Amino acid sequence: MLYRGVRHTATPLGERLQLDDGRICGETDVVWLPPVEPGTIFAVGLNYADHAKELAFKPQDEPLLFLKGPNALGGHRAATVRPHGVEFMHYECELAVVIGRTARHVAKSVALEHVAGYTVANDYAVRDYLENYYRPNLRVKNRDGATLLGPWLVDAVDVRDPMNLELRTSVNGRVTQRGNTRNMIFDVASLIAHLSSFMTLEPGDVILTGTPEGVVNVDVDDEVVTEIDGVGRLVGYIEADSRSPAA
């Protein structure tokens, strides 16, 4: 995070923060950054059967995977732009997995040993731009600041069971989405094993594991809070596009 223009790490101290130099400040006194400097960012689509059904698609035999650029990331309390003229901009509350050890041809039984930790993701999708649910195009998922991560990276040892975590999203204080990671089609270990079967995963790589049903449209000035029990509470805002409609 940034405090008075200087980059710091911090730890929670009740409802306040303690910076790495010992100073104490409030949550709104800093500019939050994503809690990891990512390598490759993998995203998994339609990884909850209820969400696939919600979008009228059948679950797949293999994970639906695509990549995201680092430009897409933002931190806790960041604002994400809603483009001019779109009808459907949806949040997506997701468990984000951060790789901690190089993984190549990793068996599912030991896959979780390669995880450094977990954080919360809110991966907005502008569905007006979707050409094919099986091939999400760049404008849907790689817009600047469209994927928030945070607030914290929670060590893997502090997450007893990543496959039994409650997820929920609220918009302006009203809960609109609930789910549990146990309902993933492909669990975290399976995703790591699958990805590492054809490419090397490196420390800092991030896997966004998908969202359950309950996505709804969000609009300018909305506050969107995505939460995962034991991992964190990620706050974001929707702001208007400052460019002209023709830009």
Alpha-helical runs (H) found in the chain: 49-54, 138-141, 188-196
Tokens found for residue 203:
């420390």
Please, what is the Cα angle at 187 between 182 and 188, to 5 degrees? 115
pLDDT digits (tens, 9 = 90+) for 185-228: 999 999 999 999 999 999 999 999 999 999 899 999 999 999 99
Give residue 168's pLDDT: 97
pLDDT digits (tens, 9 = 90+) for 175-185: 999 999 999 99
Tokens found for residue 85:
């003229």
| pLDDT band, very low/low/confident/very high, at 245 (cuts 50, 70, 90) | low
Give residue 235's pLDDT: 98
- Report the b/e string of 6-16 with b at 16+ CB within 10 A: eebebeeeeee
User: Could you tell me how many helices (H) and strands (E) the chain has, helices first?
Assistant: 3, 19
pLDDT digits (tens, 9 = 90+) for 65-88: 989 999 999 999 999 999 999 999
Which residue type is seen at 212? P
Whether the Cβ atoms of residue 42 and residue 65 lie closer than 8 Å to each other = yes
Whether the per-residue pLDDT at 247 is higher than 90: the answer is: no
Give residue 35's pLDDT: 96
Whether the Cβ atoms of residue 214 and residue 227 lie closer than 8 Å to each other = no
| Domain ranges (residues) in the chain | 1-31, 33-240
Give residue 56's pLDDT: 53
Residue 242 vs residue 71, higher pLDDT: 71
Span 112-121, average pLDDT: 98
Tokens found for residue 64:
């639906």
φ and ψ at 120, to 5 degrees? -95, 140
CATH topology of domain 33-240: Fumarylacetoacetate hydrolase; domain 2 (3.90.850)
pLDDT digits (tens, 9 = 90+) for 27-73: 999 999 999 999 999 999 889 886 556 655 666 778 989 899 999 99
Reference 204, options 29, 2, 37; nearest CA is 37
Whether the Cβ atoms of residue 64 and residue 44 lie closer than 8 Å to each other = yes
pTM to 2 decimal places: 0.92
